[in-house]
Amino acid sequence: MEEDEFFGEKTFQRFCAEFIKHSRQIGDGWEWRTSKDCSEGYMCKTYFQIKPGTVVSHLGTSAHVQTCLPTEEALELPLDDFEVTETTTGSEVIKYEYHVLYSCSYQVPVLYFRASFLDGRPLALKDIWEGIHECYKTQMLQEPWDTITQQEHPILGQPFFVLHPCKTNEFMTPVLKNSQKINRSINYITSWLSVVGPVVGLNLPLSYARTASQDE
Amino acid sequence: MAEEPESALQLPPSTAADGEGPTEVSPETATPEPPSSAAVSPGTEEPAGDTKKKIDVLLKAVGDTPIMKTKKWAVERTRTIQGLIDFIKKFLKLVASEQLFIYVNQSFAPSPDQEVGTLYECFGSDGKLVLHYCKSQAWG
């Protein structure tokens, strides 16, 4: 491993601190958590999302089916003389958790994530899969076990899904080398998370981009 | 590095068919001319009465990624990052297993659904948006 990519735990924590500083400025919800017994820590973010239910209108003619949030403004009632009865089914709140930990073996950050319903039922990988952006699905479907695996969270000891870090160096190296070439330091965590986050439904607001790099 | 004197070429629509072209692209050399079926000549992409101004995008390669011979493109505001990635991948003739990332500020990858117009408003300068692209294999 080249010196350039060396990324120790201290460096990891420093970048996380800078990342969280910006997160606080924009209310993006990231926090730092430490484990009780040692100096290890990780970044985490929890957010809740309403998985929309399906509104089905029962008509005499062709059914008008749409998926939308069950709010007044979102409903589009078809205008006709038929009696319309509507039922809303299956709208649920899902809790997403994203954790950024440091991997000693790979010496890179790793993204752990899980999703569950409010009653604690976890989402299965196939449900999470539906949330993955189309553009990643074809590539990842080829060998999903190399990309998303289920592992025990190193600090919490609970099962999480993990985006495998084996290729992290490969896509981060050109970005790092480029930053050195132009004499700009980058926040490794911001750059890395901007790449891997969208794969699992985590999109970073654009304002992070301004903090991602600065002139040295 | 001198900029190419050519005027900005129009990005073809997403449904442009793949054209013919040499198959070998090595990192050190510039890519060949775009396929003729891609309809990249200026003006052909403007629908009648369209007042939407296109964004001038300058694409720069990072690392060992092949350099596009045509770097300046006029892109619709609503074109997404993913659309741009698909276009560059086709242009560079990358295989499906290779991934391409686009960065603003040479360090931050916008989400796939982010629109070029928004990126221009946030990061554009001198009338254009500079985007860096990088080929890699991120997983699998």
In chain A, the domains with their CATH numbers are: 9-51+89-209 (3.30.1460)
The amino acid at A10: K
- List all residues 6 or more positions away from B97 whose beta carbon is below 8 Å from its beta carbon: A139, A142, B137, B140
Residues of chain A whose pLDDT is less than 70?
Answer: 1-6, 52-90, 133, 138-146, 215-216
| CATH classification number, B51-132, choose in 3.40.50.10440, 3.40.1360.10, 3.30.390.50, 3.10.20.90 | 3.10.20.90
- List all residues 6 or more positions away from B23 whose beta carbon is below 8 Å from its beta carbon: B93
Amino acid B47: pLDDT: 47
Rounded to whole angstroms, how far apart are CA atoms B14 and B38? 10
Which residue, among B102, B99, B94, has the nearest Cα to B62 in the 3D structure? B102
Question: Is there a contact between A212 and B107 if contact means CB atoms under 8 Å apart?
Answer: yes
The amino acid at A179: S
Nearest-CB residue to B104 (from A142, A143, A209) = A209
Q: Can you tell me whether residue A191 is helix, strand or coil?
A: helix
Could you give the residue numbers annotated as active site of A?
166
- List all residues 6 or more positions away from A14 whose beta carbon is below 8 Å from its beta carbon: none
Do residues A177 and B72 touch, judged by C-beta distance below 8 A? no
Cβ neighbours of B106 in A, within 8 Å: 175, 178-179, 182, 184, 186, 213
Q: What is the pLDDT of residues A159-202, one digit of tens each?
A: 999 998 888 988 999 999 999 999 999 999 999 999 999 888 89
Of B136 and B89, the structure prediction assigns the larger pLDDT to B89
Distance from CA of A83 to the nearest CA of B (A): 39
Compare all CA atoms of chain A with the CA of B81 and give the residue at the minimum distance: A135
Q: Examine the predicted complex and report whether its ipTM is higher than 0.85.
A: no
- List all residues 6 or more positions away from A195 whose beta carbon is below 8 Å from its beta carbon: A171, B101, B109, B138
Total-model pTM: 0.75
* Residue B79 contacts A, CB cutoff 8 Å: no
Q: What is the pLDDT of residues B7-52, one digit of tens each?
A: 567 777 654 444 433 433 444 444 444 444 443 333 334 444 444 6
First to last CA, chain A: 25
Give the CA distances from residue A63 to residues A53, A58, A66, A69, B95, in Å, rounded to whole numbers and listed in that order.
Answer: 16, 6, 10, 18, 42
C-alpha angle B67-B56-B70 in degrees, rounded to nearest 5: 25
In this prediction, residues B82-102 reach a mean pLDDT of 90
Which residue, among A204, A213, A209, has the nearest Cα to A176 in the 3D structure? A213
Tracing tokens 């190419």 back to the chain, one arrives at B4
The alpha carbon of B133 is separated from its chain's Cα centroid by a whole number of angstroms, namely 8
Question: Is there a contact between A198 and B85 if contact means CB atoms under 8 Å apart?
Answer: no
Beta bridge partners of A86: A57
The amino acid at A1: M
Cβ neighbours of B132 in A, within 8 Å: 178
Distance from CA of B110 to the nearest CA of A (A): 7
